[in-house]
Structures are given as structure tokens and as C-alpha cells.
Structure 1
């Protein structure tokens, strides 16, 4: 099972690792987080940041995209092979493809520079609250989720359909886990955003639709995820003919 952030240190404060090559930005974030009660460590390049994160996983990582030596995408990708530490990515480039790519690699949220500190603080609270509420983090031993021939293993974070193993990003896994935990129950967009992205999520308005489309493509046929227009989504064990015309 992947490792998560370690318990708070002797100070009892949650630990945040900031990886950014701009000293002024690092100071800005560090001072704000320390005022908010966090213990803060800093790295100014990707390789050093990754080494620090692997040696002693913090409770959360703030990761800049454009870094010398190893960019934020690669740091996040390597980190996700062994650790589930929450990651918020920062970038000066407001490109949708960059945001989607970062989220697909396992980032928990994405924030474009420049930003106000209170927005960063809100996103940190949302990500940490969401991570701390996941059953797999609390118990380390969660039963398999199964619907027809689809099996989701929260302990290994592994998806199988029949004999095929399917790779998912961290966000795709969390969304599918939520849907499979409530089979045949319609979940509203508000509930999905709250449970998967957090109360304070401020991203793209169609983010749920985008990730549902990703899941449908990866799961293949027959489709099990249905759109209930004007309400939300449901994962059905027995597809209903009356809902076929409501699928995206």
C-alpha cells in the first residue's frame, strides 16, 4: 500500500513541504503557512524536493510546475508511485491542458499564479480535510468494492474489469470509489464536488463531466455510469432502458 504523510513532528503541527524555485514566492507561502499554524520545509528544485518528500513524507506538498532539473509533472509522477501525500500544484501558466495533465498525474488541486494567500489556505484545508476522511487512510484495510464485473480495491488502489487491470489517476479513483460505494443511488453534482474535490474547490465548472467521460472510456462497454440530467450521476448494476437516452 502507498505511504501517506507521516504524523506531525514534535511540534504537533501539520508539516507542509513547499517546492518552488522563486525565493519570494517561497517566503510568501512559508510566512503565511507558519502564521496559520503549519510547520514548513522548503526546496528550490525538483530533485531536492522529491528527495525530501520520499525521505520523510510531509502532510501536504505545494509543488510548482516550472522547476529546474525536474519539473513538477515529473516530481508528482514519481511521488505517486509510492506515496499518497496530498499535492497542490502551482503554475504561472493558465493552460487547461496543464491543469488536466497535473490532475491526471495525481495532483489533488491546481492553483494559478498570482493568487491570494487566503485562496491557497482554503484549498489546503479542503485537500487535507478530504484526505483525512478517506477510509483507506484511517483503517488501512478496506473491503473490495464490486459492481457486476468491475472490482475496485481501495487498499491497492487498483481497478479491474473482468480479467483486465485498468490504470486510474488519483482523482479518477476517488470519483469511481464514491460512485461504487453508493450503487444504484443518484449522487448530485454538489455531493460529488464536496466528496471528491472538496468544499472549497474553485476549478473548472465541467470538471465532473470531464472525469466521468475519462472513467467511461477506461471502463468500456457495457456502460455502468449514467447521467441523470439536472441532478447528477449514478452507477447502476442493471442498466435501465429508460435511462439510455440520458447517457452522455
Structure 2
């Protein structure tokens, strides 16, 4: 199978170089110089991965990333000249799977593309072995259609928020370090700050008021289930 990748980048030189390396590795590539046109193309042509620049004319990469995540779980890699930690965290919060700072090695980008496709394929192969849903107290998580219910009412969550809940619910009452959660949710090739985990937990606590995610001070978090404690 040949994966199809959308490259959304307004710098033609970067587009051409990235596309050349991806094509050399067997990928099908569409090159687009603005977010509006890229989004329009998805009506008839859904990619298997997005590579997005942040600083685009008109709609920026963050906004496009947000729109993609509202409708799809395909891998997203953000590339940007910005190197601030807050920008990386914002990109990951909005649902991107990886973040590369310009200038970057095209070979490194290709390696990350391969890793993300490998992770996505592994997740798909494991899905048939997963239970259909998890239940902890008044929290219900349906795996097959990625839906979350709190006291019987459905709550909209992002892809990363869902993955955090699933990891904690699969291992209720177990304390995870922030580093463990970073690896589980973003992969072992992510080298950003563990603040991304704190922000994820903060957003879930706001959406699911009373959610029993406990802070293990100086370490990480656990999802407490009193009924399962003997």
C-alpha cells in the first residue's frame, strides 16, 4: 500500500525537497501552499498523513490542525520556524502527533513519517483485541467509536485526551509518571516538556468535573477507582 501525504507549506523550496524525499521512499505526495486550498481538497481526496507548516498565508497551520482533528485521526506532523516550547505544546494539544523545528533534516522527517505510520498500523492491528468499552465509576469510554461519557452524557474530547483516558482506565489505580504518559501518548521519540501531560490532565478535569484523576505529587497521575480497591 502506498500512503498519500498532504504537504501544506508556502515555501516552494521546502515543499520540493520534502516531496522529493518522500516520493523516493514510496509515498504519494500532494503539495499545497495554503490551508484553505488544502482543506478544500479533502472533500474529494483524503490523505493518510498531513505535514503542516505553521506560518501559512490566511488560515494558519494551528487552525488547520484543529479542523482536521474535528473530523479525522490521521497522523499530523507540524513543521515550523518557531522553537518556543509553548508553540510545540499548543501544536500537540490541538492534536498533532509530532513537531519539527526548521531547519530540519529531510531524512529525519522521513524517519518520523515512517514511525508514525508504523504506530498507526500497530494500533489498527491491536484494535480487534481491545475490549469494546471501559467503565470506571461514572466514566465510560467506548473504544470502537472513540466516545466518552460522563454520568451518561457524551463529552467531546481530543485524540490525545482520549488516549490519556484510555491508558489510565486500562490501568486504574496505577500511578504513572509524566515520562511514562508522554511515551504512551506521544511516542518514545517525543522530547518535549512533560508540561504537555499536565495541560492534558487540566483540560480533562475541566471537561469532566469531579473526574478522579489524582495527582501523585512529584511523580505523575493515577485514575482512582475506589470500588476496585480491596
Q: Give yes or no for TM over 0.5.
A: yes
Residue 26 of structure 1 and its aligned partner are, at CA, apart by 0.5
1:104 aligns with 2:93: yes
Label 1:54 to 1:175 Cα distance change in 2 as closer, same or farther (>3 A): farther
Report the equivalent of 1:166.
155
2:225 to 218, 229, 237: 237
CA contact (8 A) 1:60 1:87 kept: yes
| Unpaired segments ≥5 residues, structure 1 | 1-11, 241-248
Report the equivalent of 1:201.
190
Label 1:218 to 1:106 Cα distance change in 2 as closer, same or farther (>3 A): same
CA contact (8 A) 2:69 2:158 kept: no
CA contact (8 A) 1:136 1:142 kept: no
Matches within 5 A, 1:24-103: 24-103=13-92
Residue 219 of structure 1 and its aligned partner are, at CA, apart by 2.3
1:151 to 119, 137, 140: 140
2:214 to 218, 223, 226: 226
CA contact (8 A) 1:15 1:40 kept: yes
CA contact (8 A) 2:4 2:29 kept: yes
Report the equivalent of 1:175.
164
Q: How many residues align?
A: 228
Q: Secondary structure at the match of 2:214?
A: strand
CA contact (8 A) 2:88 2:192 kept: no
1:214 aligns with 2:203: yes
Label 1:160 to 1:233 Cα distance change in 2 as closer, same or farther (>3 A): same
Give me the TM-score of the superposition, normalised by structure 2.
0.84
Residue 135 of structure 1 and its aligned partner are, at CA, apart by 5.0
CA contact (8 A) 1:224 1:236 kept: yes
Deviation string 1:196-217 (CA, Å, 9 cap, x unpaired) is: 1112112224322332233233
Residue 60 of structure 1 and its aligned partner are, at CA, apart by 1.0
Report the equivalent of 2:118.
129
